[in-house]
A and B are shown apart, each in its own frame.
Chain A
């Protein structure tokens, strides 16, 4: 069994197991710290954008939008109605909340400077002087570490006024979220950043026109920023060579669930899902895989016989699922799929922002329906109705949350229908205990 490092150069996580890897000293000494920034500040902003475009870097937050293209959408010289020039903002989405995803957390605790350096370079590329780092509220430790890293960088002259004597100013502000999953959606994040309810905005206008505080803004994921210093240092071609034609570089996969060595693995996108699971030690000894969620909770799940799919964006899309945020959740044969999906649906029911009708009512309905099936009140008609509810939800709302809800719900009914039918026939998960499963016991009120 090969380790991750044998598959590909560890662009992001080479030093994460070494002591003090989060400090500026370590970063400068071992990882060419802030050399990329020095180089980038001598480049024209448009050249940086071109370099990132050439690297085929795609957003690592889940949607996989090409990063260079996103940066190029930023208006060059935005002006308001009175002709005064408007500031532009760079926003880092560190609101990592997708169940099964924990890669940004690793980057923030272990190599915060990589992210910060990448973000300063990005600020230079879009000619912005201010960056907001929106960190999920539960990440107390990460907030402390990133704040300390910002302070260190400032003291060393990599942040603040006149960086390295080039005349470029850049400021970085941490904003602590309040723990809503939906604030990981970029426009909900911007609303939350402004102090409003974390509810996704209607698009258009897109954040590149009207973003944080009404100014043109660009929102990128932590992992995306962390890849930028490498691209500048080593060149776009080298970074692109780790990936495939339309998606360059390495990816962090968060393998969790029933594997022998759960954790974050940096791997090329050319691998299959089965190989990724093998790198994480394979399914736990003595058990077999039942299902795999390949990219965080909102992706449709795959059966054990479907995991020979390549892990790049397009192959997974062809297999009817998504590459998402890279959270691979492995479920072995001991798991009851209905119960597992109910746990996810309960999460979605709780986290729907409640603006759009379909999402607010549909996520609630699905969660209650799955609970009823678990408790033994199910009916085979319900299974047909899941598809109908999901059909009414998907693609009809402001953001992609409703689609995320339908992912696990619909795929589980499609691929594991017999499990549902067993529950319906046997009168629930624990027919002897009456109203049963430990999750189902938690009452109707969340």
Chain B
């Protein structure tokens, strides 16, 4: 990758569902260049690119919060059916949908005229006629667009005196193991249908019937089969589609939201970590046009479970009388130092899920601390992937073959891949943060594990001679940077505070240095 992009993951200021990377455009200042057309929105003139719709111009200048919408989503084709985004265009006989009306030079648009607000109140009233008032038990409450827009535009009272529409089995319908559909709450924006038609191209969902009893159904009996089902629950403006993994776990207003990176594969999707008291409840994608667009895959979304695993090692463990026992990092490192001193050959293996900074640290500092000739290599461990060259796209969207986040970043250190995927020295230090695989090893090989490990993993290792486990931080708990499959370097900061006894690699090296 010739052009390196380096940028920091930042929390977007706007709602996650609507974030857009569109930037303001400016006319070429040279006199012979044709100036860009201008549209006036709420009394201010904005330059735009020919072909932009009114909504897209608003997105460029970050004034799109003035225009509510349900069916419009910047990552999907335009439907123009919810009629919530209508604006008044001077000289147009009717209100126009801003999502589908191309901006024109000299056009004068009002997003908050009396006529517009009346229309929005009308739409809200219509949507609420059949929407159940079950916000207290609805998972979307607190981040629901129907709630938000109703607060802003909705009518104070409704005259709807008829019975509300109720679908059969509405609250218990499972579209797949991961997604539950509550059709009673649906506002028929059909983002989900367009997503499976045009983004994943799996055509999983379809609306059956017509008019007011139009119902969302899976096209096959297998239900949803695409691997981006979580996205359906992200952009569903109401609580119609909910993510089973998150359902009934936490009210959304208790969540603290910090940006980070997904380390589930070499794509490096930008995510927001939603946690409360440093317990993670879900990952949600953040829009980044260069990396993941608006989406993330389900396996990445579920990957937080391995960090929240109760069997994860969160304090230093040392072998004593044939068993691993918790100890202090100082005691552990003193013992490790002694073992390394006696060893005839020592090898350091860096998992390709280490950050670029950790890889540099392990390559530069640790061999010096050991004080002898140490072979340093890296190991990926994904089935069929040894180096970054083996990586490839698995589908037309995001999924990559390499299931570690930083193969390119570790390769940058000029290291070689672990020969045959097999460790060979007397004593081996293997550093990984929970994503790289397990190299081949002999049953009596002395191994020091470092990073993110769980007790099940340690038990299942071929070697029964684990000298120590140095517990480390996971991606969401540490700062650093990854270089993804497209050569984009992305920095990140801790999204949650690690509450156990694990230490960052730099802290461990600091303690080690203090011992000498």
Whether A364 and B81, one on each chain, are in contact in the complex, defined by CB atoms closer than 8 angstroms, is no
Contact residues in A for B501 (Cβ distance below 8 Å) = none
Q: Taking each of A197, A351, A356, A382, which has the highest tally of chain B beta carbons within 10 Å of its own beta carbon? A: A356
Whether B162 and A357, one on each chain, are in contact in the complex, defined by CB atoms closer than 8 angstroms, is no
Q: From A202, A355, A392, give the contact of B100 (CB < 8 A).
A: A202
Contact residues in B for A365 (Cβ distance below 8 Å) = 126, 129, 160, 162
Does B499 count as interface, using CB distance less than 8 angstroms? no
Report the stretch among B103-111, B211-219, B253-261 that lies at the interface. B211-219
Whether B214 and A360, one on each chain, are in contact in the complex, defined by CB atoms closer than 8 angstroms, is yes
CB interface residues, B 77-122, toward A, < 8 Å? 78-84, 86, 94-95, 97, 100, 118-119, 122
Contact residues in B for A349 (Cβ distance below 8 Å) = 211-212
Q: A397-B83, A398-B81 are in contact. Are A352 and B212 (CB under 8 A)?
A: yes
Contact residues in B for A356 (Cβ distance below 8 Å) = 81-83
Whether B212 and A369, one on each chain, are in contact in the complex, defined by CB atoms closer than 8 angstroms, is no
Looking at chain A's contact residues, the main secondary structure is: helix
Interface residues on A, range: 35 or more
Min distance, Cβ B195 to any Cβ of chain A, angstroms: 16
Does A208 count as interface, using CB distance less than 8 angstroms? no
Nearest-neighbor residue (CB-CB) of A362 within chain B: B126
Q: Taking each of A197, A351, A355, A392, which has the highest tally of chain B beta carbons within 10 Å of its own beta carbon? A: A355
Whether A364 and B212, one on each chain, are in contact in the complex, defined by CB atoms closer than 8 angstroms, is yes
Whether A355 and B212, one on each chain, are in contact in the complex, defined by CB atoms closer than 8 angstroms, is no
Complex Cα spacing A202 to B211, Å: 17
Contact residues in B for A385 (Cβ distance below 8 Å) = 159
Contact with A along B136-169 (1 / 0, CB 8 A): 0000000000000000000000011111010000
Contact residues in A for B204 (Cβ distance below 8 Å) = none
Contact with B along A159-181 (1 / 0, CB 8 A): 00000000000000000000010
Whether A352 and B210, one on each chain, are in contact in the complex, defined by CB atoms closer than 8 angstroms, is yes
Whether A354 and B212, one on each chain, are in contact in the complex, defined by CB atoms closer than 8 angstroms, is yes
Complex Cα spacing A369 to B83, Å: 23
| Extra pairs beyond A357-B84, A381-B159 (9, CB < 8 Å) | A202-B79, A351-B210, A357-B187, A369-B161, A392-B118, A396-B86, A396-B119, A397-B83, A445-B213
Does B125 count as interface, using CB distance less than 8 angstroms? yes
Does B454 count as interface, using CB distance less than 8 angstroms? no
Whether B165 and A364, one on each chain, are in contact in the complex, defined by CB atoms closer than 8 angstroms, is yes
Whether B84 and A369, one on each chain, are in contact in the complex, defined by CB atoms closer than 8 angstroms, is no
Does A308 count as interface, using CB distance less than 8 angstroms? no
Count A/B pairs, Cβ under 8 Å: 104
Contact residues in B for A444 (Cβ distance below 8 Å) = 163
Complex Cα spacing A381 to B157, Å: 14
Nearest-neighbor residue (CB-CB) of A202 within chain B: B80
Contact residues in B for A143 (Cβ distance below 8 Å) = none
CB interface residues, B 438-467, toward A, < 8 Å? none
Whether B161 and A398, one on each chain, are in contact in the complex, defined by CB atoms closer than 8 angstroms, is no
Q: A369-B162, A396-B83 are in contact. Are A446 and B213 (CB under 8 A)?
A: yes
Contact residues in B for A360 (Cβ distance below 8 Å) = 126, 188, 211-212, 214
Contact residues in A for B127 (Cβ distance below 8 Å) = 357, 361
> Nearest 5 A-B pairs (CB), nearest first?
A392-B122, A361-B126, A364-B212, A368-B162, A352-B211
Whether A355 and B81, one on each chain, are in contact in the complex, defined by CB atoms closer than 8 angstroms, is yes
Looking at chain B's contact residues, the main secondary structure is: loop
Does B203 count as interface, using CB distance less than 8 angstroms? no
Does B123 count as interface, using CB distance less than 8 angstroms? yes
Does B16 count as interface, using CB distance less than 8 angstroms? no
Does A350 count as interface, using CB distance less than 8 angstroms? yes
CB interface residues, A 343-385, toward B, < 8 Å? 349-358, 360-365, 368-369, 372, 377, 379, 381-382, 385
Does A395 count as interface, using CB distance less than 8 angstroms? yes
Complex Cα spacing A396 to B82, Å: 10
Min distance, Cβ B85 to any Cβ of chain A, angstroms: 11
Contact residues in B for A351 (Cβ distance below 8 Å) = 210-211
Nearest-neighbor residue (CB-CB) of A401 within chain B: B211
Nearest-neighbor residue (CB-CB) of B160 within chain A: A365
Nearest-neighbor residue (CB-CB) of B168 within chain A: A445
Whether A396 and B95, one on each chain, are in contact in the complex, defined by CB atoms closer than 8 angstroms, is yes
Complex Cα spacing A380 to B70, Å: 34
A-B contact pairs, 10 of them (CB 8 A): A349-B212, A351-B211, A354-B212, A357-B70, A357-B126, A360-B126, A365-B126, A369-B161, A377-B161, A392-B126
Contact residues in A for B123 (Cβ distance below 8 Å) = 357-358, 392
Contact residues in B for A357 (Cβ distance below 8 Å) = 70, 81-84, 123, 126-127, 187-188
Q: From A355, A368, A392, A395, give the contact of B94 (CB < 8 A).
A: A395
Min distance, Cβ B189 to any Cβ of chain A, angstroms: 9
Complex Cα spacing A350 to B118, Å: 27
Complex Cα spacing A379 to B207, Å: 36
Min distance, Cβ B268 to any Cβ of chain A, angstroms: 34
Does B130 count as interface, using CB distance less than 8 angstroms? yes
Whether A350 and B126, one on each chain, are in contact in the complex, defined by CB atoms closer than 8 angstroms, is no
Q: A202-B78, A356-B81, A357-B81 are in contact. Are A363 and B162 (CB under 8 A)?
A: no
Q: From B70, B83, B211, give the contact of A358 (CB < 8 A).
A: B83
Complex Cα spacing A351 to B214, Å: 11
CB interface residues, A 220-269, toward B, < 8 Å? none
Min distance, Cβ A351 to any Cβ of chain B, angstroms: 7
Complex Cα spacing A369 to B123, Å: 18
Q: Taking each of B84, B122, B123, B214, which has the highest tally of chain A beta carbons within 10 Å of its own beta carbon? A: B122
CB interface residues, A 387-446, toward B, < 8 Å? 388, 391-393, 395-398, 444-446
CB interface residues, B 178-210, toward A, < 8 Å? 187-188, 190, 207, 209-210
Min distance, Cβ A180 to any Cβ of chain B, angstroms: 7
Nearest-neighbor residue (CB-CB) of B80 within chain A: A202
Min distance, Cβ B410 to any Cβ of chain A, angstroms: 44
Whether A372 and B162, one on each chain, are in contact in the complex, defined by CB atoms closer than 8 angstroms, is yes
